[in-house]
Amino acid sequence: MSKKFRFFISIVIAAVILLTVFISAGASIYTDWLWFEDLNFEKTFTIMFLSNFILRLTIGVLFTTIIYLNLHFTKKPIIKHLNIKKDSKVESMFGEEKNQIFDWLNKKRLNIIYIVISLIFGFLFSSISTDSWKMVLKFFNRTSFNSVDPIFNNDIGFYVFTLPFLSFMREMGTVLIVISIILAGAMYIIFSGIHSFNDISSKMTSRAKKHLSILVFVFLLFKAWDYRLMMYDLLFSPRGVVFGAGYTDVNANLLGYRILFFVVLFVALAVLYSLFRKNYKPLIWGIGAWIILSIIFTGLYPAFVQQFSVEPNEIDREEPFIKNNINMTLEAYGLDKVRKEDFELSGDGLSYDDLMEYNTVVNNIRLWDRRPLLSTYGQLQGLRQYYKFQDVDIDRYDIDGDYTQVMLSARELDQDALASQAQTWVNKTLKYTHGFGAVMSPAGKVGSDGQPEFLIQDIPPKTDEGLELDNSSVYYGEKTNNYVITKTDETEFHYPMGSDNVFIKYEGSGGVSINNFLRKAIYALRFNTLKIFLSDEINEKSQIMYHRNIHERVRKAAPFLKYDSDPYLVIDRGRLFWIYDAYTTTNLFPYSQPFNRSDNYIRNSVKVVIDAYNGTLDYYIVDEEDPIVLTYNKIFDDLFTPMEEMPDSLREHLRYPIDLFKIQSEIYSNYHMEDPVVYYNREDVWNIPEESYSGSTIKMEPYYIMNNLPGEDEAEFILMTPFTPANKNNMVAWLAARNDGDNYGDLFLYSFPKDQLIYGPRQIESRIDQESEISQLLSLWSQRGSQVIRGNLLVIPVNNSILYVEPIFLQAETSALPELRRVVVAYEDKIIMRQNLESALEAMFEDEAPTAVASEDIEEISEETGVAPTEEDTADLTEETEEDMQAPFVEADDYQLIEEANDLYKQAQDALQQGDFSRYGEIIEELGSVLEQLSGTGE
């Protein structure tokens, strides 16, 4: 085989590979465009694709051009040098081999080498800007925040939109110049026959010196620009007592960057001066000053200021900067608008009649925990092995005139759960295309058998008179992971009916039409199967649905938004919809404390509504004051829809998202302290409480409840979380987010009186554990082959009082069907457990001397097990739970003293470990005083 033939074969193989890659990439891009077109978002796709492509092309062309021009500038002296070498045949440091290279090289070949080098670097650096298109588009469409930072008085939009663009330009420019210096310098060194770097000044041509001097000059300009931008970066400094610029940053580091900025400009001018005047003294002095001042102002001076000025007077020095951090953090998380009110406890206590006045609140106390309820739904309403419930959502509906909190879940079809022999392409693509129906039950009602009372159930769906569900097919959901093709000659499985099945044909608009030969071929290539191309069932009316999983779907359409972890199902106008909360975030909000080691600003600015049948996406802007979403709206004007266009029936189901509320709660646990001195000393840090669940201790999650906020006449759907002091378990406050109507998004903080003990969730859990009669029953159930699952402990503020409710579930070891068997209610110092909430409330408020457990419970357990519970049944459990209690049942004043003594003891131990004996002595004296008070009250 000749060399020419082998070369030809290699060219053909390379061409085939490149053509395959090109066709595959083209098929992916074209089918993506068709997908966006089906959603009427083709302009959004075009902007995302072209902006990314144009930016990468621009960077690639820029890098290629600048690098080539710099290499081209080296060509003339190099060619001249090569000609001299060829004529003289001088032996170089590389000997005969280098002479052969000189003989081979000529102007044309050197030009080709330069072009190839330039193209390689251009391609490499065009690839690193994949996500930079978002930053560039935001810069050119930026929106003002109408709020300024406290140091430079720049609008926040400068840091969110402009600073990233400027930093990107500086970084790209610096890299480009450094590469040009390296490549040009390498060319001069290699082809001028230099034997060592010490000979550079004597060997290098005047042309080379000028060339490299100009490049160094430009590099120094970029370095000066870098120092200028680093001044702004101080607003995101993590070094001080709080996030953001502190005293040392503003009074030492900022000064240093300003001085270095002018020093580098001087050095840059000195480079040009030395080039034309042949006087290197200014350059040498400039470089020396740069090195010395860099050491001083980036290390020594800031450390000196921190150690000798700040640390001895830290509170005084840092107070204004702590205030900046507090104010900017509250603004960044939308917590500056929290309304603070005192929650005054009723002196007369809560009566049964008082409680029944809050009928909507009581009837909607959520007894069902979504975790065991998911298993219950699966066991009772799965009906077939391929039907799955992914999640249980919480919402509210008007049912027969009653405002009702409900639990609901979509019945989705899991293709992976089909029998192995049914796992065929036809079944998974043409036949089993969708789930069917939903399940709904009231959150506050339980059947006599411990199961939910269903409002929607079975197949086909049976609904309560107050609900309507006409089309319950789920083509787009949380488990719809595969593509399907509808409107084919093959009928689709709809739902099982006894021993038979019901089949239908899709009548919706979802999916992309594959009505011609070309599209069938492209989708066959896209999904790597010839079956799409060869199937006789696919006709000119067929539509292909892909990216059907709603988690993937929303991120595909708008990848620049961040999304909630839990989309929720809504039944509206007889159909199923998903509502997905989307967020705008940034990590460039000055002084704001980051919440996940990155982002330090967040807004729930967008609600995405997904049609479960047609797959349409509607991105509704719900926060028109958020500059980031307004900027995106300028860029993608076909993507977003004004909130006013959302149907009122859907707006009634908007929820304040739990993910956002959790972030805000975590931040507010520290930043409710708005006084800088209090914040510095961490005098009033709060924690999110803990609760028991299924034998383990977990952090309490925010929860939705129906509640009358203090001063409000009507019950409303709210999201709330309680707070406890750091290292203590009593409750000090609770935060609430409103969800209904025009009040949506309002945040309230209700603080309890500081001179009264309010039990926290963990203390109530421990008190339940220590209640001997309750512990005996729970222990006996556990010992007799059942798993006891303690559901969410709910703290329910009602009529200036606090009620605690915890459901108890029982699940047999051989079954995954939890039953709600008991409800525990706690109020003040009383704890009651009964078979249902109604009985527990009656016993709590109606009986003069209620027992913790009803007498019939003991008899029932004895009859079921044949064994009467004894003290030994719960001995181990009681010993464990006693350790969790910080104090036995004591008076409120005593309890508070015990808490205080415990805290002082821990502080004393910390002082002792740190060697602070003065502080240790002060704490011990204070501890002795508290113990004397406790001893006196005990007597």
d(CA 488, CA 496): 21
Q: For position 325, what pLDDT does the model report?
A: 96
Instruction: Determine how many CB atoms are found less than 10 A away from the CB of residue 685.
Output: 16
Q: For position 934, what pLDDT does the model report?
A: 66
DSSP 853: B
Sign (positive/negative) of CA torsion 85, 86, 90, 92? positive
DSSP letters, 545-604, are: E-S-SHHHHHHHH-TTSEE-S--EEEEETEEEEEEEEEEEEES--TTPPPSSSS--EEEE
Angle at 571 between CA 565 and CA 577, to 5 degrees: 50
Residue 169 pLDDT more than 90?
yes
Instruction: Determine how many CB atoms are found less than 10 A away from the CB of residue 925.
Output: 10
Q: For position 179, what pLDDT does the model report?
A: 94
User: In degrees rounded to 5, what are phi and psi of residue 131?
Assistant: -100, 5
User: In degrees rounded to 5, what are phi and psi of residue 614?
Assistant: -100, -15
Residue 283 pLDDT more than 50?
yes
Q: For position 2, what pLDDT does the model report?
A: 66
For 209, the token pair is 């010196």
Q: For position 631, what pLDDT does the model report?
A: 97
pLDDT above 90 covers a percentage of the chain that reads: 63
d(CA 608, CA 627): 19
Q: For position 859, what pLDDT does the model report?
A: 67
Tokens 């090569």 belong to residue: 82
CA dihedral 226, 231, 237, 239 (to 10 degrees): 100
pLDDT band for position 928 (50/70/90)? confident
Ramachandran region, residue 573 (left: φ > 0; alpha: ψ -120 to 50; beta: rest): left
Q: For position 770, what pLDDT does the model report?
A: 87
pLDDT digits (tens, 9 = 90+) for 330-354: 999 999 999 999 998 877 778 888 8
pLDDT band for position 876 (50/70/90)? very low
DSSP 847: -
Q: For position 499, what pLDDT does the model report?
A: 81
Neighbouring residues of 649: CB distance < 8 A, sequence distance ≥ 6 = 572, 573
In order of 275, 449, 798, 800, the CA distances from 344 in angstroms are: 79, 40, 11, 6
Q: Hey, which bits of 414-528 come out as E strands?
A: 435-436, 438-442, 456-457, 462-463, 469-471, 473-474, 484-486, 492-497, 500-504, 512-513
DSSP letters, 330-366, are: HHHTT-TTPEEEE-PPPTT---HHHHHT-HHHHHT--
For 170, the token pair is 């500086």
Average pLDDT for the chain:
87
Radius of gyration of the chain (CA): 36
Q: For position 90, what pLDDT does the model report?
A: 45
The answer to which of 395-409, 705-719, 906-920 has the lowest mean pLDDT is 906-920
Instruction: Determine how many CB atoms are found less than 10 A away from the CB of residue 49.
Output: 15
Residue 15 pLDDT more than 90?
no
Nearest to 513, CA basis, from 545, 549, 477: 545
Identify whether the C-beta of residue 99 lies closer than 8 Å to the C-beta of residue 89: yes
Q: For position 890, what pLDDT does the model report?
A: 43
DSSP 94: T
Mean pLDDT, rounded, for 8-22: 77
pLDDT band for position 194 (50/70/90)? very low
Identify whether the C-beta of residue 513 lies closer than 8 Å to the C-beta of residue 543: yes
Q: How far apart are the first and last CA of the chain?
A: 109
Nearest to 650, CA basis, from 716, 577, 719: 577
Residue 883 pLDDT more than 80?
no
Q: Where are the alpha helices (DSSP H) in 640-725?
A: 648-651, 658-671, 676-681
pLDDT above 70 covers a percentage of the chain that reads: 87
Tokens 């298109």 belong to residue: 133
HSE of 869 in the Cβ direction (CA atoms, 13 Å)?
A: 25
Neighbouring residues of 561: CB distance < 8 A, sequence distance ≥ 6 = 554, 582, 583, 584, 606, 632
Task: List residues bridging with 495 in a β-sheet.
Answer: 502
pTM reported for the whole predicted model: 0.86
Residue 441 pLDDT more than 80?
yes
Ramachandran region, residue 95 (left: φ > 0; alpha: ψ -120 to 50; beta: rest): left
Mean pLDDT, rounded, for 508-521: 93
Q: For position 82, what pLDDT does the model report?
A: 59
Type of residue numbered 563:
Y
Task: List residues bridging with 806 in a β-sheet.
Answer: 824
d(CA 52, CA 497): 51
Q: For position 91, what pLDDT does the model report?
A: 47
Angle at 107 between CA 102 and CA 109, to 5 degrees: 75
Angle at 112 between CA 111 and CA 118, to 5 degrees: 90
Task: List residues bridging with 703 in a β-sheet.
Answer: 720
Nearest to 734, CA basis, from 763, 768, 760: 760
For 576, the token pair is 């199923």
Residue 889 pLDDT more than 90?
no
Q: For position 83, what pLDDT does the model report?
A: 59
Q: Where are the alpha helices (DSSP H) in 128-253?
A: 132-140, 156-157, 163-191, 200-203, 206-233, 247-248
pLDDT digits (tens, 9 = 90+) for 701-741: 999 999 999 988 899 999 999 999 998 899 999 999 999 99
User: In degrees rounded to 5, what are phi and psi of residue 832?
Assistant: -130, 140
Mean pLDDT, rounded, for 259-264: 95
Task: List residues bridging with 716 in a β-sheet.
Answer: 707
pLDDT digits (tens, 9 = 90+) for 40-70: 999 999 999 999 999 999 999 999 999 999 9
Identify whether the C-beta of residue 224 lies closer than 8 Å to the C-beta of residue 264: yes
d(CA 812, CA 786): 4
d(CA 61, CA 38): 34
